[in-house]
Structure formats: structure tokens, C-alpha cells
Amino acid sequence: MPSEREHRFAGPRRGQLVFALFLVGAALLLLVLITEQTAWVEKAKLFAQPRFWPAVAIGGMVLLGGLHLYRLPWRRVSRYDLQEVRRWAQVFEFAGWFMGYVLLVPIIGYLPVTLAFMPLLSWRMGYRSRFMLGISLAFAVAVVVLFKAVLSVKIPGAMLYEYLPGPLRSFFILYL
């Protein structure tokens, strides 16, 4: 049964308890690790200490996160909180896509990986028509040409390029 305090709360509810618990937990972890990550210099003034201002900031995080947690009108995680956490976790999918891209470029090559990932990501985002997939391929080629030829960004050649004949290998390394 919801309390009177829960009924009077006007703000959005979902995810706040989980967020507050995570914030306080992370701040406490940082506070525990502060002695390993910062130094205390002898004969230095308090405000000039390398540990002072980080300790003030992390202490404020612990204090204010704890106050936020204390002032929340509910103390149980609901199904809406879990739905919100699932939505927050969706960003890790795209971090995985990015890490896959970064890992494959030195192996397969900048152009082939970009030509594969652009339509795959377009498909994943819901752009599934032939027109949109064609646009994504054209954009992939434009990105590679812009970075390699126009801006002369030095991107290492792929391991796969080593198996190409000499002049073709040089062309792929320089321009693709």
C-alpha cells in the first residue's frame, strides 16, 4: 500500500532508486580508492594537496547521493525501475558495435569494415529499405574517401592487405 508521501511525489519515479543506489555505491568505491589514486604531499598547504579537491568532490557525491537516497519516498525496486535499467543498458549494444568495428579495421581493412558496418547499423536502426541501405553504402565510401584521400588521415593497413600483390597492396594501404 503506497504511503501518503509516495502519493504526494510529483516527479517521475522509474529508475530513481536504482540510480541513487548506483551513484552512492560508485561514490563510496571512489572514496575507498582515493588513497591509492592520489597523494598527500608533506609540507604542502591543505588547499594545495593533490588529494584535497578530489576528496571534497567525492565526499560531496557521497553526501548528496545519500541525501537523495534518503529523501526518496519509496524503498523498493519496482518492475518500472527494471524496465528503465534495461533501457539504460541498451547503450552497451552500440559500444559493442564500436568495439567490433575498432577490432576488425586492423585485420580486414578500413574500407571493407566500413562498407559492412554502415548497412548493418542502418538495418539495426530500422532503415531497411533498399534506398536507405544504398545511402548507407554511399556514405561509407564518402567517409573513407574523406578521411583517407582528402584529410590524409593515417590509418594502418590491414593484415589482410599483406596477401595482395605488391602494387595493389600499396594502393589499398594508401587509399583504402
**Chain mean pLDDT for the chain:** 88
Pairwise CA distance, residues 47 & 97, whole Å? 44
pLDDT of 5: 59
pTM beyond 0.85, yes or no: no
pLDDT of 157: 80
| CA distances for 127 relative to 85, 90, 121, 176, angstroms | 26, 18, 9, 26
* Residue of 111, 115, 110, 132 lying closest to 123 (CA atoms): 132
Pairwise CA distance, residues 158 & 143, whole Å? 17
Question: What is the mean pLDDT of the segment spanning 157-167?
Answer: 86
pLDDT tens for residues 12-63?
778 888 989 999 999 999 999 999 988 888 888 888 888 899 999 999 999 9
Q: How many residues does the chain have?
A: 176
pLDDT of 149: 82
pLDDT band at 135; cut points 50, 70, 90: very high
Predicted confidence (pLDDT) at residue 8 exceeds the cutoff of 80: no
Which set of grid coordinates corresponds to residue 157?
A: 593497413
Pairwise CA distance, residues 117 & 110, whole Å? 11
pLDDT of 2: 61
| CA distances for 119 relative to 47, 126, 135, 165, angstroms | 54, 11, 9, 29
Percentage above 90 pLDDT, the chain: 49
Q: How far is CA 20 from the centre of its chain?
A: 20
Question: What is the mean pLDDT of the segment spanning 88-103?
Answer: 94
